[in-house]
A = this chain, B = another copy of it.
């Protein structure tokens, strides 16, 4: 009855009360290596033993200790994701889609919030690396020098998402924000609007919003050979900013007849401002935004916007990484998911 299985006796160091692999092994009457193999590569174990092991696992409610496994293999089923903001529904939709796909495959998401700062991003990357993640997912293509160095040194798949530019670190999943801005400008021009402007927010911090405004300005330059009117208030892209920015814009340029907002929240602020001032949409002023947030389809008038592939980015990222995990020689990819201009009542 008494065996000398030390892992079974109470030692001072034994910390977790949970069942461990050795317990499973004992009950199944096999060695821990067999249990380990049953878990990681079932076909390498004979049917008989596999059944015994599965039964023992079931009986004990055994859950492997991630730390021990991670230490032994230097890799875990953790995906580290860094976004610039969580309260921005763009990224939460992406994360939600990504998490849904990953969780069903047994991967966990570890989340970091860079708050639109490259230094914060670097710090987060550093601490993430010590988790031996299966992959690292970043938002955007700009990173600090030393973050880049660390990233390149770590032999981990890396996905940059929500952008579409040159020289990705590894894999890139997103769309061109410049093209979004161009499309918005062209749309307003097609609608016969000629004095059009662009309103963005925090353009110094939100590189992608800035790219959208750049694209917009490009078209203006090409078609009118004049500089575009770009308003870029400092604060966050929210409704209040949109109201104030539009008000200021109209004061400065009373003849403006079309506005591209770099974000739907700003546009909603613009809509509220127009409602208050009795500005008719789209006759007096056409509006188009970016994001296709929930309200855009239902407001009065409904709001034209450009829909980014929020969830699709998450899904494609997960899909790519899963393929990569299961097959060594999947190469890095650059996936342009495009966007969709949705013309509605406001333009």
Residues of A within 8 A of B (CB): 15-18, 63-68, 70-71, 73-74, 76, 85-87, 89, 92-93, 95-96, 99-100, 103, 106, 108-113, 115, 124, 126-132, 153, 155, 238-240, 243, 265, 268-269, 272, 275-276, 294-295, 297-300
Q: How far is the CA of A132 from the CA of B18 in the complex (A)?
A: 11
Contact across chains for A272 and B300 when beta carbons are under 8 A apart: yes
Chain A to chain B contacts (Cβ below 8 Å), 8 pairs: A65-B130, A66-B130, A71-B71, A86-B92, A87-B93, A110-B111, A269-B298, A272-B298
Given contacts A87-B96, A110-B110, A240-B298, 16 further A-B contacts (CB under 8 A): A15-B73, A16-B132, A63-B127, A63-B130, A65-B71, A67-B74, A67-B130, A71-B71, A86-B99, A87-B93, A108-B112, A111-B111, A239-B298, A265-B294, A268-B298, A272-B299
Q: How far is the CA of A295 from the CA of B269 in the complex (A)?
A: 8
Known: A71-B71, A275-B300. A99 touches B111 (CB 8 A): yes
Q: Which residue of B lies closest to A78 (CB)?
A: B110
CB distance from A139 to the nearest CB of B (A): 15
Contact across chains for A127 and B108 when beta carbons are under 8 A apart: yes
Known: A89-B87, A272-B300. A67 touches B64 (CB 8 A): no
Q: Which of B67, B74, B111, B300 is within 8 Å of A71, CB to CB?
A: B67
**Which chain B residues border A269 with CB–CB below 8 Å?**
298
Known: A96-B87, A111-B111, A239-B294. A71 touches B68 (CB 8 A): yes
Q: How far is the CA of A270 from the CA of B82 in the complex (A)?
A: 36
Q: Which residue of B lies closest to A123 (CB)?
A: B103
Contact across chains for B294 and A66 when beta carbons are under 8 A apart: no
Q: Which of B70, B126, B239, B265 is within 8 Å of A67, CB to CB?
A: B70
Q: How far is the CA of A131 from the CA of B126 in the complex (A)?
A: 19
Q: How far is the CA of A93 from the CA of B110 in the complex (A)?
A: 17
Contact across chains for B108 and A103 when beta carbons are under 8 A apart: no
Known: A15-B73, A269-B298. A66 touches B111 (CB 8 A): no
Q: Count chain B CB atoms within 10 A of each CB in A18, A100, A106 and give the residue with the most.
A: A18
Known: A67-B70, A70-B67, A131-B67. A295 touches B87 (CB 8 A): no
Q: Which residue of B lies closest to A129 (CB)?
A: B63
Q: Which residue of B lies closest to A236 (CB)?
A: B294
**Which chain B residues border A113 with CB–CB below 8 Å?**
96, 99-100, 103
**Which chain B residues border A132 with CB–CB below 8 Å?**
16, 65, 67
Pick the 9 closest A-B CB pairs, nearest first: A15-B74, A67-B70, A67-B71, A86-B92, A275-B300, A66-B130, A111-B111, A86-B96, A239-B298
Q: Which residue of B lies closest to A95 (CB)?
A: B86
Q: How far is the CA of A78 from the CA of B66 in the complex (A)?
A: 13
Q: How far is the CA of A301 from the CA of B276 in the complex (A)?
A: 9
Q: Which residue of B lies closest to A88 (CB)?
A: B92
CB distance from A159 to the nearest CB of B (A): 17
CB distance from A94 to the nearest CB of B (A): 10
CB distance from A205 to the nearest CB of B (A): 16
Contact across chains for A268 and B295 when beta carbons are under 8 A apart: yes
Q: How far is the CA of A160 from the CA of B111 in the complex (A)?
A: 20
**Which chain B residues border A109 with CB–CB below 8 Å?**
110-111
**Which chain B residues border A243 with CB–CB below 8 Å?**
298
Q: How far is the CA of A16 from the CA of B182 in the complex (A)?
A: 45
